[in-house]
Amino acid sequence: MSLPTTTDVVLVDTIQLTANIGADCWGRLREQPVSITVHLHLKPSFLEISGQSDNVVDSIHYGHLTKAVSALSASYADVRALVHEVTQKAFALAGENVDAVRVVIGLPKQVLLANDFEIEVITPRDKDSLQQTAKVSVKDLVMPVLIGVNPPERLAKQRVITNITFYEKAGMHKVDYPAIIKQISEEIENTAYLTLEKFVLHIVRSSCLASDAIEAVTTRSQKPSALSFAHSSGVEMTRYRDAFQGLQ
């Protein structure tokens, strides 16, 4: 096991607000709940000064960062435009002390049947956040599936909880994720599986091939009803899009 890298980070976790960032899970263009988390990746050992002085003026004032983010506009062309503005606010507030800004936007009303939808972008200093790669996560997607090898499992559908993480190519972020999840759910609706392995491979393949903007996908699926004395059984796979290029 490798040792951790020395880092200094100031963060504000889960600022709650509402904003119009495009259609919600019902296709309606209106304000929806938004959570914003900002990590300021500081220059090495920057926090040692305030750690020794015990004085907030020697650090980054996270109260000012929270106020700046909370006062943002209520309407954006899309979620990447919101990420871009939050990133700019963070760099402007922290100045030369920040090497990179990591922004995570949560949209719990973006995807039907999912608990949350998140987009994460890390932007180094002097770079454009709109040109950075993004990690997009669909969290705790619940689908009823006929799956399993035991006789009772062949008679009734059971809940399968799936988390899908999409890794976008740099500068390519016009992806309709609700449409992708809807398509995958429809594909699975009338199918049956003996194993989680087959089920997960189906989702990984469909997700990778859903858009040219997607570089790779990680999918983890779990059966909470499978084992009596464990939370769930599960399978996780990560694949790059080019693994399926000749199989379309």
SS3 for the chain is: CCCCCCCCEEEEEEEEEEEECCECCCCCECCEEEEEEEEEEECCCCCHHHHHHCCHHHCCCHHHHHHHHHCCCCECCCHHHHHHHHHHHHHHHHHHHEEEEEEEEECCCCCCCCCEEEEEEEEECCCCHHHCCEEEEEEEEEEEEEECCCHHHHCCCEEEEEEEEEEECCCCCCCCHHHHHHHHHHHHHCCEECCHHHHHHHHHHHHHCCCCCEEEEEEEEEECCCCCCCCCEEEEEEEEHHHHHHHC
Q: What is the pLDDT of residue 223?
A: 86
Residues 151-163: tens digit of each pLDDT: 776 777 888 999 9
pLDDT at 246 over 70: no
Burial (CB count within 10 angstroms: exposed 0-12, middle 13-18, buried 19+), residue 44: exposed
Mean per-residue pLDDT, 208-228: 88
pLDDT at 15 over 90: yes
Distances (CA, A) of 150 to 153, 158, 172, 194: 5, 12, 44, 9
Q: What is the pLDDT of residue 230?
A: 55
Do residues 207 and 166 touch, judged by C-beta distance below 8 A?
A: yes
Threshold 0.85, pTM exceeds:
yes
Please state, in angstroms and rounded to a whole number, the distance separating the CA atoms of residues 148 and 132. Answer: 40
pLDDT at 214 over 70: yes
Weakest mean pLDDT among 69-73, 176-180, 181-185, 225-229? 225-229
Weakest mean pLDDT among 37-51, 125-139, 194-208? 37-51
Whether 133-248 and 1-130 are alike in CATH topology: the answer is: yes
Residue 220 — very low, low, confident or very high, per pLDDT cuts 50/70/90?
A: very high
CATH class of the domain whose range is 1-130 = alpha beta
Residues 82-127: tens digit of each pLDDT: 999 999 999 998 888 899 999 999 999 999 889 999 999 999 999 9
Mean per-residue pLDDT, 137-152: 85
Q: What is the pLDDT of residue 86?
A: 95
Weakest mean pLDDT among 30-44, 74-88, 123-137, 234-248? 234-248
CATH class of the domain whose range is 133-248 = alpha beta
Q: What is the pLDDT of residue 47?
A: 85
Domain ranges of the chain: 1-130, 133-248
pLDDT at 208 over 70: yes
Mean per-residue pLDDT, 37-54: 88
pLDDT at 136 over 90: yes
Distances (CA, A) of 143 to 163, 223, 231: 11, 10, 17
Answer with the residue of higher pLDDT: 1 or 27.
27
